[in-house]
Amino acid sequence: MTETQGSTPSRRALIGWGGAGLALGAAAAGGAVAVARSGDDAEPVADAMGGAVEFHGAHQAGIATPVQDRLHFAAFDVKTDDREAFVQLLKDWTEAARRMTAGKPVGEGAYGGLAEAPPDDTGEALGLKPSRLTLTIGFGPSLFDKFGLKGERPAALVDLPRFPGDNLERSRTGGDLCVQACADDPQVAVHAIRNLARIGFGKVAVRWSQLGFGKTSSTTPGAQTPRNLFGFKDGTRNIAGTETGRLAKHVWVGAGDGPDWMTGGSYLVARRIRMNIETWDRTSLQEQEDVFGRDKREGAPVGKAKEHDEPFLKAMKPDAHVRLAHPDSNGGITILRRGYSFTDGTDGLGRLDAGLFFLAYQRDVRKGFIPLQRKLAAHDALNEYIQHVGSAVFAVPPGVRDSGDWWGRTLFSKEA
């Protein structure tokens, strides 16, 4: 075991994952894993559905990676004051993530160990393919109030202002850190978050989480733009994972943008947006199309024939969503979206608790999401049919470079 993974006694010595280290051992369950890259700085792409996405790289996977079908997102609160214990948790999480994204069990696996102790892996992903699982970690503003990190908080990691129309629920807002699990199999994504939460028991606790399905945006050129629960295509001009120039300009933190530890990282805004489904479903087709500025069948902008035709913004109503959100209406502001639809039962009044779990990555929140959302919150016709009920912002550090690296090393390797 390398020093970066920590020194660990026998796996069973501390019974479960509450100890200081992460024990390694079992071979992979299932078949071989294949991944491909198209350049040193290109995003890792699984060779086929069910394959594995490379965990290591200059940037974390799960940002510009082709968007998977399912999401399990979790925000955590830190429960320990021990910096060394928290750093060890990050190392343990990294090793678990490295294994799970490759389709391997955590530690020694779900069976075959000491019968008197809990197994290292919960077992519900046994026999399943990697399913293009990606795990992406981020650090919230509140984390920098702990462990002597105040001086390392990036200026770009601002607390989001309260926007007009916000009705944020404390139970769905904030968090010291987050993990975004994306996969093509929902059980693989849930398994990943479940096992990280289990490993973190006593050091971190889940503050809130969100399951998502039906990706509402794409980072793959040529792919059909997905539809949201209102039935419309949205995010037609999203940044593609192959557009390295646009990614460098709008998504990745550059050298000199802030503290060195964030170079190669990004900033994530997560918003739980409740859709007033029942009201929308009683709205005329013409009004629905006016609200978005696109036709419902093709997704073409007003007056155009095809979805990807260049929009004539002035042909849309002044409060049309596309017109207000378009980069040409916002001085070129561009964000990378990875949103998912959600349905979480009903609200007790017979209305669907459903909507969009909005995820946006950008180089600087102050120059990306905040000015864009200020404009939308004040003028967007869509506001009649939606409400923002959850919110969080995170600094997403650069990728894990190799087998000796770990999540957050560039931040926590600094002196306290």
Domain presence at residue 216: yes
Q: Which residues contact 32 (CB under 8 A, 6 or more apart)?
A: none
d(CA 7, CA 16): 16
**DSSP label at residue 67:** P
8 Å CB contact between 132 and 68? yes
Does residue 110 surpass a pLDDT of 90? yes
Domain presence at residue 109: yes
Domain presence at residue 21: no
- Distance of CA 11 to CAs 68, 88, 105, Å? 34, 15, 15
Q: Out of 7-11, 30-34, 203-207, give the one with best mean pLDDT.
A: 203-207
8 Å CB contact between 176 and 79? no
**DSSP label at residue 39:** S
Q: What Rg do the C-alpha atoms of the chain give, in angstroms?
A: 21
| pLDDT over 90, % of the chain | 81
- pLDDT confidence bin for 33, thresholds 50/70/90: very low
pLDDT of residue 21: 33
Domain presence at residue 177: yes
Domain span at residue 387 reads 1-7+35-416
- Distance of CA 369 to CAs 163, 267, 303, 312, 373, Å? 11, 10, 28, 23, 6
For 308-352, write each residue's pLDDT tens digit: 899 999 999 999 999 999 999 999 999 999 999 999 999 989 999
Domain presence at residue 27: no
The structure's pTM equals: 0.88
d(CA 292, CA 319): 9
pLDDT of residue 253: 98
Domain presence at residue 346: yes
In this structure, the number of other CB atoms found within 10 A of the CB of residue 260 comes to 13
Domain presence at residue 103: yes
Domain presence at residue 78: yes
Strand pairing category for 340-346 and 204-215: antiparallel
d(CA 93, CA 87): 10
Q: How many domains does the chain have?
A: 1
